[in-house]
Amino acid sequence: MKKYSVVGHSVPQIDANEKARGVAEFVSDLQLAGMLYGKILRSPHPHARILHIDPSKARRLKGVKAIVTAEDTPQIPFGPRTEDWNIFAVEKVRFIGDEVAGVAAVDEDTAEEALDLIRVEYEELASVFDPIEAMQPGAVLIHDKERNIVSEFKLNKGDVDRAFQECDVVHSERYYTNQVYQAYLEPMACVAHFDPTGKLTLYLATQIPSMTRITYAKALGLPLEKIRVVVPYYGGAFGAKMETNLHLAAAVLSQKTGKPIRMVNSREEDFMAGNPRVPMYIDLKVGAKKDGTLVGKEVKIIGGSGARAIYSMAIVATACYRVDSLYRFEHLRTEGITVYTNTVPTSCFRGFGNAQMTFALESSLDMIAGHLNMDPAELRIRNGLKTGEVSIHGWQIGSSGLEECVQKAVEASGWEEKRRKKRFSRGIGLACCNHVSGNRAFSREFDGGAGIVRIGREGKVLVYHGESDMGQGQRTVFAQIVAEELGVALDRIEVAPVDTDISPFGLGSFATRGTVFGGNGVKAAAQDAKRQILEVAAEIFETIPSELEAKEGKIYVKEEPERNLSFEKVAEICLLRRGGSPIVGTGFWVPDTVLPDPVTKYGNVAPAYPFACQIAEVEVDTETGHVNVLHYTAAHDVGRAINPQATEGQIHGGVTQGIGWALMEDMVVEKGKVLNPDFRDYVMPGPLDIPPIKSILVEPIDPNGPFGAKGIGEPALNPSPAAVANAIYDAIGVRFTELPITPEKILKKLGSALDIGHLHRKKF
Amino acid sequence: MKYPLKLSVNGVLFELEIPANRTLLDVLRNELGLKGTKEGCGAGECGACTVLLDDEPVNSCLVLALQADGRRITTIEGLSGAGKLHPVHEAFIHHGAIQCGFCTPGMILSAKVLLDRHPNPTEREIREGLVGNLCRCTGYQKIVEAVSSLVNRKD
């Protein structure tokens, strides 16, 4: 494997110092001159007609500067996929938390007090909360969509019925993956400022700065050029921080008052009106031959989108068919239905549907391996896609480290020995996953990444990109790539915050795409900057650029290294010879991905595909039902780790969220109301719930990733719930098909299992 | 109605007049501009607003500012005097214990107190000592590694 001087080396995040000292300014820390504070009046009803809104009493409260409702907006329906959004509710509210009105005041307390004084008359309507009930004929309609169906996804290949007949084992199961909350530590936040020229600057915590700008321009009825999006530091996202009405409410209030408006969700609001994970019913049937060859897969998914579709239909589609490029299924029948309900709109959360389906598929494969008396690891290796293969949907696997992931995880976890020395209540379980780095199907308009690299007089390099660092360490990876290309030390590089007035257009940080797309974009820009600086250096040394080398902060003649100048000196000469112009390198990268056919879905959605294998070892306390995760091994094909320390950090974080989902996390929703909208009742992993995680980086060097890198964000979580569920099955012989697997569920199942004598009770 | 309040914050004395319902977190952030102390939940559950009140870690969102009258407060800004990093800062940076950074100030202060009181904690004791601080990015592992690296340090 080729070695580099900056790429491939563990470095702290380039902004870790500011974050450690508490001086990094997050969105909720921003303070602009004359700034007011906004709050949203939210619907207390899951479904109701708005008869009348009377803000007069609230308006008279001292310190209140503006109150806005749908009447103060252009009332243009909008949305990232389906136009079922309004900035504030028009005629109807559709979930508890739906935005009804906005208040701007001199401080947050006053704004909250004003919310209580706004009188709203509602006529309550029938509501429906479960997607299966919502799609029954006669169910109340939430939007004007027949049977509340947002969309249906269908995909059939081969002859699945015949294939099942010819299988030696066919396993059928219904799974349910619940609604979980991303729980980033900084709630959703923004500052909006309409300046006197009519230009709106939005300081947003968003993963998709350029895309929100387009969606918001439409919602506000503004030309695109009147909107500027800036992305300061923000405290995590995990898929949730895309479009949100919070940003638009702030924009409308700023337009009304002429003042900057800061809006920050309370934690409760963030639970009730954020974008939690799409819950899914998954009916899965998988057939295999007795040698373990997987043959057919039939799946029917019903996903609940909540009261707005957002990206839920794409998430359900992903759940339907992404795993077909993990294993070699030849026969498929697939149906995915996305359904409105009167609950909080659901959307992206690390894994984008693939996490839901991976739980189901990897649980079923565990059962099939059991039926066939086959090592579950062997079953995965036998069926897993290898480097150079093209999947049934046309996905070109440029590199696959799946087999190596399985082998290394098996070895590091002591899999074989632990399976041999079985004892009741202790178990070990394995699960794999694939994913994408980028998703051609998600953004139909184009695919690609771009960067700008500016070198100033002092030789300081400033990198601009259009993606979004939510804390994962993207800025650092981009800085490492540019430092490597320019042959300078990492501390010469600064990465600018995304500002749509300056930065390139970027699709943003989702689909595990940042490293591959943004990385290739800034790499191309750095190469362009290097070409320019070498041209000037060639004039100085009276040679041609190809005779020069840029390395270790110096530019020198290859054959005569003593003829050299510092990078800074050449940058200065460059600027002085070029009328004061800094070097500005621009570059872009367009992968040869293929937009999937609308009917057959045949295409090639990503330039690179990551793979993983994770192994959990658990101890189940049969008295309390508590599951203790004892050991955890996670082997990930990351192509090449640009920053191994950060890559491991992503794995640790993803596994932890996955264990949380498997064992404890659950949004308890009753009649559309979230009953546990706080961190006391929404339990997620603390430091004592997670064992040390052994992370293994598998680096097959991808042909398309920058320096061979692929993404890591989502695959870090995808297999974890199944690995834990499979370990629990190994421990106590009970298969859990619904998440989370709580002590109550375990005791209930264990009780019945013990009663019918299937298991030997532990002796005390 | 406003009440007088005297606070010693990071060694500097402040005299303020504030309403009785203001939290210490609110006063630190909005009156004194110390934005390093973060608000993650407003209910004492996440630990992002941890500060030291007379060397005792507290969730500043649960402390009324007037309860801190006449007392000594250390925030994250007070841990790095004149740009010099505290060893806990350095360990967090070096070990990759910081991702989004929103839990970091509170986590660092809790880690500092833990090490001040138990200079030689086991891994389990480190995890127990940080149980009041949630982190959603790191899975805690590199945080625990950072704190472990400071066990038995000689400064």
Q: Residue A496 sits in a domain of what CATH number? A: 3.30.365.10
Query: Do residue A96 and residue A216 come from a single domain?
Result: yes
Number of domains in chain A: 3
Interface residue A717 vs chain B (CB under 8 A): no
Q: Does A131 reside within a domain? A: no
**Do the strands B12-19 and A189-194 form a parallel or antiparallel pair, or are they unpaired?**
unpaired
A394 touches chain B (CB under 8 A): no
Q: Is the dihedral of CA A158, A159, A164, A165 positive or negative?
A: negative
pLDDT, residue A762, reads: 36
In a domain? residue A375: yes
| CA proximity to A148, closest of A344, A348, A342, A346 | A342
Of A564, A589, A614, the one marking the end of a domain is: A589
Contacts of A474 in chain B (CB under 8 A): none
Residues A562 and A621 in one domain: no
**Mean residue pLDDT across chain B:** 96
A133 is a domain residue = no
Mutating which of B73, B74, B100, B122 best tests the A interface, going by the most A Cβ atoms within 10 A?
B100
Confidence of residue B18 (pLDDT cuts 50, 70, 90): very high
- Closest-CA distance of chain A to residue B101, Å: 5
Residue B76 has pLDDT above 50, yes or no: yes
Mean pLDDT of chain A: 96
Shared domain check, A428 and A452: no
- Tell me the CA distances in angstroms from B78 to A6, B84, B91, B108, one per residue in order: 33, 11, 17, 12
Residue A85 is classified by DSSP as B
Average pLDDT over residues A602-623: 98
pLDDT-derived band at A757 (thresholds 50, 70, 90) equals: very low
- Which residue segment(s) compose the domain that A47 sits in? 31-125+184-237+241-273
Q: Which residues of A touch B34 (CB under 8 A)?
A: 22
What is the mean predicted confidence (pLDDT) over A141-162?
97
* B99/A471 CB distance under 8 A: yes
Do the chains contact at B102 and A649, CB–CB below 8 Å? no
Q: Is residue A379 part of a domain?
A: yes
- Whether residues A405 and A454 share a domain: the answer is no
The predicted structure's pLDDT at residue A388? 98
pLDDT in tens, A669-688: 999 999 999 999 999 999 99
A470/B contact by beta carbon, under 8 A = yes
Whether A356 and A264 map to the same domain: the answer is no
Contact between A688 and B127 using a beta-carbon 8 Å cutoff? yes
| Least Cα separation, residue B36 to chain A (angstroms) | 4
What's the pLDDT score for residue B81?
Answer: 76
* Shortest Cα–Cα distance, A680 to chain B (Å): 6
The two tokens of residue A414 are 């002591």
Task: Please check the confidence at residue A31 and state whether its pLDDT lies above 60.
Answer: yes
Residue A164 located in a structural domain: no
Nearest CB among A109, A185, A687 relative to B136 is that of A185
Overall average pLDDT of the A323-344 stretch: 98
Question: Tell me, what CATH number does A91's domain have?
Answer: 3.90.1170.50
Best CA proximity match to B76, nearest among B67, B85, B65? B85
For residue A352, give the amino acid letter.
F
Residue A764: the pLDDT is 32
Residue A592 in this model has a pLDDT that exceeds 70: yes
Q: Does the distance separating the beta carbons of B144 and A655 come in below 8 Å?
A: no
A419 shares its domain with A468: no
Same domain for A419 and A358: yes
Give the pLDDT score at A483: 98
* Overall average pLDDT of the A255-274 stretch: 98
- Name the residue facing B93 among A16, A183, A234 (closest C-beta): A16
pLDDT reported for residue A230: 98
Encoding tokens for residue A313? 């239909």
Mean pLDDT along residues A138-143:
97
Contacts with A492 (C-beta within 8 Å, 6 or more apart), sequence order: A459, A460, A461, A483, A486, A553, A567
Domains and CATH numbers, chain B: 2-79 (3.10.20.30), 81-148 (1.10.150.120)
Interface with chain A: mutation pick from B61, B99, B124, highest number of A CBs within 10 Å: B99
Q: How far apart, in whole angstroms, are the C-alpha atoms of residue A232 and residue A340?
A: 34
Residue A674, domain member (yes or no): yes
* A397 and A472 in a common domain: no
Which residues numbered 634-653 in A keep a CB inside 8 Å of some CB on B?
A: 645-646, 648-649, 651-653
Out of A29, A266, A473, whose CB is closest to B42? Answer: A266
B139 CB neighbours in chain A (<8 A) are: 649, 651-657, 685, 690, 693
Residues A522 and A620 in one domain: no
Structural tokens at position A91:
């005629």
Tell me the average pLDDT across B144-151.
97
Over residues A636-647, the mean pLDDT reads: 98
Range A71-77, long-range pairs (CB < 8 A, 24+ positions): A72/A252, A72/A256, A73/A219, A73/A220, A73/A248, A73/A252, A74/A219, A74/A220, A74/A221, A76/A218, A76/A219, A76/A221
Interface contact flag, A13 B98, Cβ < 8 Å? yes
> How far away is chain B from the Cα of A241, in angstroms, using its nearest Cα?
14
Phi-psi region of A414 (alpha: psi -120 to 50; beta: other; left: phi over 0): left
What is the per-residue pLDDT across A241-253, written as a single tens digit (0 to 9) for each? 999 999 999 999 9
pLDDT at A759 over 60: no
Q: Is residue A43 over pLDDT 80?
A: yes
Owner of token pair 């509710």:
A89
Q: Is A8 left (phi over 0), alpha (psi -120 to 50) or beta?
A: left
In a domain, A137, yes or no: no
Nearest chain B Cα distance for residue A605, angstroms: 28
Q: Is A42 part of any domain? A: yes
pLDDT digits (tens, 9 = 90+) for A375-403: 999 999 999 999 999 999 999 999 999 99
Q: Are residues A247 and A338 in the same domain?
A: no
Question: A581 and A618 share a domain?
Answer: no
Nearest residue in B to A680, CA atom: B45
**Does residue A627 share a domain with residue A570?**
no
Which of the residues B22, B85, B98 would you substitute to probe the A interface, choosing the one with the greatest number of A C-beta atoms within 10 Å?
A: B98
Flag whether pLDDT at B155 surpasses 90.
Answer: no
